[in-house]
Amino acid sequence: MSLPPTPSELQTTWHRTEAAASRRRFTHWLLASSLGAGALCETPKALAQDNKPLRIVVPFAPGGSNDIVGRSIAQQLTARLKRSVIVENRPGAGGAMGTEMVARAEPDGNTLVLISSTYTMNASIMKLSYDPVKSFIPVAMLGMGPSVIAVAADLPVNAIKELVEYSKKNAGKVFFGSAGVASFQHFAIELFMQRSGAVLSVVHYKGGGPALVDLAAGHVQVSLGSLIQMQTFLRAGKIKLLAVAGPKRVDLIPNVPTLRESGIDMEASNWWALLAPAGTPMPLVDALHREVNAVLTTPEMHQRFASEGAEALPLKRSELEKLIADDTVKWAQLAKQTGIKAE
């Protein structure tokens, strides 16, 4: 199905035959009709174009929270759209490499990027080859989850205050595993050290997954991330949780206090969303937005997020756009205060 022409295209191609113009108008009407309210229960034809797979680029390594959320959404969309939805991991530069690749992708609705809070941090600490605002169109908010601070199971601490004191007494010997330079974990732990006085040596990995593997193995002693990515190691008894970095305790781990309850004045929650390259036709963006939100309201996805200590959070596209703008300002201020810089 051909895409509806833009106003500029209409002006420059008006000399075409009336028959061709009629076909374009009919195609535009048909596409708009198929994406209307009456088609909510049908798979939009606009999203099944050419039988191509819908690609969700996760700009981080496998195993991290972005990857876990992305694969959950891809699985549900595959079933709903009756179309292959695949996840492609493209880690590097705190998520900027994979994001740049999507910014340059064909804006045909077949390629999306899964972003998280890190997306709103990168502009303040590195020179990007894309514009975080102009290069993308917000498609859908996915969910939000508070971060948790975890330590290796054999570290002799069982509370945040004990970790702070232990790190001071063992300066240079307590290592924090970060998902990468200027990643969400990097920002959050710098803020934690600023607010608590803890002395941690930050080790950067290419994603949250590898950092957690080394935490479980005891190669690093501390990590911070979403509960969604900690679950496997927590169930295996490889790590201990000391605090929730969100506004309230999590039902899944009710005995773990918040940082504020532990005397540290800070919060650090992560969120996930989907963006499309700028220029993607709005009928496709609207269809994707509606289909993703429909997936998020299913009992399966609510249970999936809740079981991992996160929350499915469908928002309007305008609300997601505001969240991105507000967080960009917030993290820019923090970068200036803490001196975080990309390598």
322 in Cβ contact with 133 (< 8 Å): no
- Mean per-residue pLDDT for 182-194? 89
Q: Which CATH number does the domain housing residue 247 bear?
A: 3.40.190.10
Longest CA span, the chain: 81
Of the residues 233, 250, 269, the one at which a domain ends: 269
pLDDT category of residue 34 using cuts at 50, 70 and 90:
very low
Q: How many domains does the chain have?
A: 3
DSSP letters of 28-46?
HHHHHHHTSGGGTTS--GG
Q: Is residue 343 part of a domain?
A: no
The yes-or-no verdict on residue 12 having pLDDT over 70 is no
Q: Is residue 39 part of a domain?
A: no
Enclosing domain of residue 15? 1-34
pLDDT category of residue 252 using cuts at 50, 70 and 90:
confident
Structure tokens at 148: 């948790």
Element (H or E) spanning 243, and its range? strand 239-244
- The count of other CB atoms within 10 Å of the CB of residue 32 is 13
- 68-88 pLDDT, tens digit per residue, is 899 999 999 999 998 999 999
Distance CA 169, CA 192 (A): 17
Stated pTM of the model = 0.71
DSSP letters of 79-126?
HHHTS-EEEEE---GGGHHHHHHHHTS-SSSSEEEEEETTHHHHTTTS
The yes-or-no verdict on residue 41 having pLDDT over 60 is no
Q: Is residue 40 part of a domain?
A: no
Q: Which CATH number does the domain housing residue 282 bear?
A: 3.40.190.150
pLDDT category of residue 210 using cuts at 50, 70 and 90:
very high
The yes-or-no verdict on residue 29 having pLDDT over 50 is no
Q: Is residue 218 part of a domain?
A: yes
Distance CA 284, CA 291 (A): 10
Same domain, yes or no: 157 and 265 = yes
Same domain, yes or no: 152 and 240 = yes
pLDDT category of residue 23 using cuts at 50, 70 and 90:
very low
Same domain, yes or no: 200 and 307 = no
DSSP letters of 170-218?
TTTT-EEEESSTTSHHHHHHHHHHHHH----EEEE-SSHHHHHHHHHHT
Q: Residue 226: what pLDDT?
A: 82
Same domain, yes or no: 260 and 154 = yes
- 263-315 pLDDT, tens digit per residue, is 999 888 889 999 999 999 999 999 999 999 999 999 989 888 887 778 899 99
Same domain, yes or no: 9 and 53 = no
Cα 234–237–243 angle (5° rounding)?
50
Between residues 251 and 154, the one the model is more confident about: 154
Same domain, yes or no: 138 and 275 = yes
Q: Residue 42: what pLDDT?
A: 43
Same domain, yes or no: 190 and 119 = no
